[in-house]
């Protein structure tokens, strides 16, 4: 099968370094930065013999790939809502169409947040015989911009982390939608890390959170949960701003392997889902389990679909319940370690990227 992945590059420096290192070793160049979910999908597909190409829709198309003009934030946001007004964004659409004509994919995998790709561009690619799969971890009601929603009737398959998000894509016109978390774990990467004394001093804490906490209208449940733990040994890491109430616990940003090392240094990884994810299934759910770290998550209805509560993960009802659970399990090391080990065994058995890839290929064959 020939698959063209259309996705962003969020951390360009890490991606450039990974490609340089792979070239030095004589290995195939990665399509995404290591640690990013679609890096693991691409590697799994390559291992199965599928032909892969990538189109990075965040990369400039004019002037050698450099930003075509310096723009203020409000102007840039406006053009992202109305990309037909931007020569740069229209050039990216033409470049995608040209790459699809040359590669002749059987499937195009479109990653969420792709509002710059116009529905007519996707329709032209489909007219050449390709099918279109859409992947997203967020709600189209909350996050998708107009062009992405207008493109929904073109999607042969929409795979999304949350059951309610899948229903929303169906309502927008997708031919088929599946509640299948695209996050998973890769045992060679999501694993317990041996930490140096310096890392334990820098990262060690009883309770750790790594993730996004702003804006408050999207992450209020997370903030309330962490605020309930302010009298614990709490560490907070985020690449985004942190609310003032949690600033005393903020220890900096964390991505990739550093994020996993931070998780491994904690006794408890706390994982409240965002306000827009009511069913559950975020990336941390599977990655923390792969690190063999005890995890407390909120009682999202989907979590028991993937883990057995009380045996492989612990779930809390509200911030007061979270406090009770954190205090109990910090005082019971053996129980905490048993549940962490069972959670790791579960993700290594049922939630690897190789298994996610196999499931997606089955869905594609039936779409």
Same-domain status, 76 and 203: no
- Find out whether 186 and 283 touch, Cβ atoms under 8 Å: no
Q: What is the pLDDT of residue 16?
A: 84
Same-domain status, 245 and 302: yes
Distance CA 96, CA 325 (A): 50
Same-domain status, 253 and 239: yes
User: Tokens 């109305």 sit at which residue?
Assistant: 82
Query: Which two tokens mark 265?
Result: 């240094």
Same-domain status, 151 and 249: no
Query: Which two tokens mark 183?
Result: 């996050």
Same-domain status, 100 and 205: no
Helix H or strand E encompassing 271: strand 266-271
CA angle (101, 158, 52) in 5-degree steps: 40
Q: What is the pLDDT of residue 67?
A: 46
> Could you give the 3-state DSSP secondary structure of residue 315?
strand
- Find out whether 221 and 275 touch, Cβ atoms under 8 Å: yes
> Would you say the pTM of this structure is higher than 0.75?
yes
* Torsion from C-alpha of 182, 183, 184, 188, nearest 10 degrees: 120
Distance CA 123, CA 130 (A): 10
- The domain in which residue 341 lies consists of 197-350
Q: What is the pLDDT of residue 79?
A: 65
Residue 65: pLDDT band with limits 50, 70, 90: very low
CATH number at residue 213: 3.40.50.2000
Q: What total of structural domains would you count in the chain?
A: 2
DSSP state of 192: -
- How many C-beta neighbours within 10 Å does residue 149 have? 17
> Could you give the 3-state DSSP secondary structure of residue 98?
helix
HSE-CB at 203 with a 13 A cutoff on CA atoms is: 26
For 68-92, b where at least 16 C-beta lie within 10 A, e where not — what string? eeeeeeeeeeebeeebeebebbbeb
- Find out whether 291 and 185 touch, Cβ atoms under 8 Å: no
User: For residues 365 and 65, which has the higher predicted lDDT (pLDDT)?
Assistant: 365
In a domain, 168, yes or no: yes
Q: What is the pLDDT of residue 14?
A: 79
Q: What is the pLDDT of residue 66?
A: 47
Q: What is the pLDDT of residue 255?
A: 87
Residue 321 CA: distances (Å) to CA of 209, 223, 272, 298, 316: 17, 15, 13, 10, 6
What are residue 326's DSSP bridge partners? none
Same-domain status, 28 and 109: yes
Q: What is the pLDDT of residue 121?
A: 97
User: Tokens 């809390």 sit at which residue?
Assistant: 316
Q: What is the pLDDT of residue 64?
A: 46
pLDDT of residue 259 exceeding 50, the answer is: yes
Same-domain status, 14 and 145: yes
Query: Which two tokens mark 8?
Result: 């962003």
pLDDT of residue 139 exceeding 80, the answer is: yes
pLDDT in tens, 38-62: 999 999 999 999 999 999 988 776 5
In a domain, 189, yes or no: no
In a domain, 266, yes or no: yes
CATH number at residue 76: 3.40.50.2300
Q: Which segments of 280-332 does DSSP mark as H helices, in order?
A: 283-290, 303-306, 319-330
Peptide bond into 101 cis (omega under 30): no
Same-domain status, 177 and 202: no
Same-domain status, 74 and 21: yes
Distance CA 325, CA 206 (A): 13
pLDDT in tens, 71-109: 455 555 666 677 788 888 899 999 999 999 999 999 999
Mean pLDDT, rounded, for 117-139: 95
Same-domain status, 213 and 173: no
HSE-CB at 116 with a 13 A cutoff on CA atoms is: 27
């Amino acid at each position: 099968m020939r698959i063209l992945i259309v996705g962003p590059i969020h951390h360009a420096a890490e991606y450039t370094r990974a490609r340089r290192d792979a070239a030095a070793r004589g290995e195939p160049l990665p399509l995404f930065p290591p640690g990013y979910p679609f890096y693991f999908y691409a590697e799994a597909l390559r291992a199965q013999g599928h032909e892969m190409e990538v189109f990075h829709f965040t990369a400039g198309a004019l002037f050698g790939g450099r930003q075509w003009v310096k723009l203020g934030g409000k102007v840039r946001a406006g053009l992202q809502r109305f990309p037909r007004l931007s020569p740069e964004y229209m050039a990216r659409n033409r470049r995608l169409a040209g790459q699809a004509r040359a590669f002749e994919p059987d499937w195009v995998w479109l990653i969420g947040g792709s509002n710059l790709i116009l529905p007519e561009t996707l329709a032209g690619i489909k007219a050449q015989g390709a099918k279109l799969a859409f992947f997203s971890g967020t709600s189209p009601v909350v996050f998708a911009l107009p062009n992405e929603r207008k493109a929904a009737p073109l999607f042969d398959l929409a795979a999304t982390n949350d059951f309610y998000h899948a229903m929303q894509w169906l309502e927008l016109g997708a031919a088929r939608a599946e509640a299948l978390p695209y996050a998973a774990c890769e045992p060679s990467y999501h694993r317990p890390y041996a930490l140096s004394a310096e890392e334990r001093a820098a990262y060690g804490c009883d309770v750790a959170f790594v993730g996004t906490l702003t804006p408050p209208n999207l992450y209020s449940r997370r903030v309330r949960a962490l605020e309930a733990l302010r009298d614990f040994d709490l560490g907070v890491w985020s690449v985004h701003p942190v609310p003032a109430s949690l600033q005393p616990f903020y220890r900096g940003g964390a991505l990739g392997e550093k994020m996993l090392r931070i998780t491994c240094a904690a006794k408890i990884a706390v994982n409240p889902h965002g306000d827009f994810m009511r069913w559950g299934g975020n990336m941390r759910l599977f990655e923390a389990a792969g690190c063999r770290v005890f995890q407390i998550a909120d009682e999202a209805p989907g979590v028991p679909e993937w883990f057995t509560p009380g045996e492989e993960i612990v779930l809390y009802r509200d911030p007061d319940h979270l406090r009770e659970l954190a205090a109990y399990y910090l005082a019971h090391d053996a129980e905490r370690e048993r549940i962490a080990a069972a959670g790791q065994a579960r993700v290594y058995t049922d939630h690897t990227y190789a298994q996610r890839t196999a499931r997606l290929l089955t869905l594609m064959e039936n779409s």
